Every structure is written in structure tokens, then in C-alpha cells.
Amino acid sequence: MRSPELKEFILKYSSLFWYIPQDKKVDVSDELLVETILNYGDKDAFLVKLFSILGKENVASFFFKSINVSERRRGNYSELTLNFFTHLFKNYAH
């Protein structure tokens, strides 16, 4: 069950999920939420909101799980995003 805070967060950044129907956006998986926010969100979106709602360790876990599944999933992140968050999470979330 999604918390009201998480639903509000998803709706605030709903334009990043432009390909998902409006009534389905709050149902996106945590993995897709993390991937989308890390790739396309602003600093406030991931540092302040996403980390405080899901927790830095959980976000790191979703990130590493996603990039370790396959090369295709790893390719969903831009090189800069992949490099930045790999270093950030290795230093501050594990």
C-alpha cells in the first residue's frame, strides 16, 4: 500500500511518467520510480524527497538490483547517472 506522502510525490513528478496513464501513475513499482527519478528528476526530487520517503538504503538497493539484473536494465541509466549514483551509494548507503 502506498503512503499518502509517496502518492503525493509521484503526482508532483507525474510529468516524468508521461507514458503512463494518469490514473495508473501512483501504482508504478518502486524500481521504476527510483529509475525514473534518478535519471530525470532534479536534485530536490532525489536528495530531499525520494531519500526521505523510501530511505537512502532502499533507494540504493533498488538501484543496484536494477543495474545488476542485465545489461539492458543497466542501460536504462545514462552513463553520468550510473557513475554518479554508483559512487554515491557505495560511499553513503552501504
Which tens digits make up the pLDDT trace of 1-18? 788 999 999 999 999 999
- For the chain, list residues with pLDDT below 70: 94
Q: Could you tell me the pTM of the whole model?
A: 0.86
Sign of CA dihedral 4, 14, 19, 70: negative
Instruction: Give residue 8's pLDDT.
Output: 92
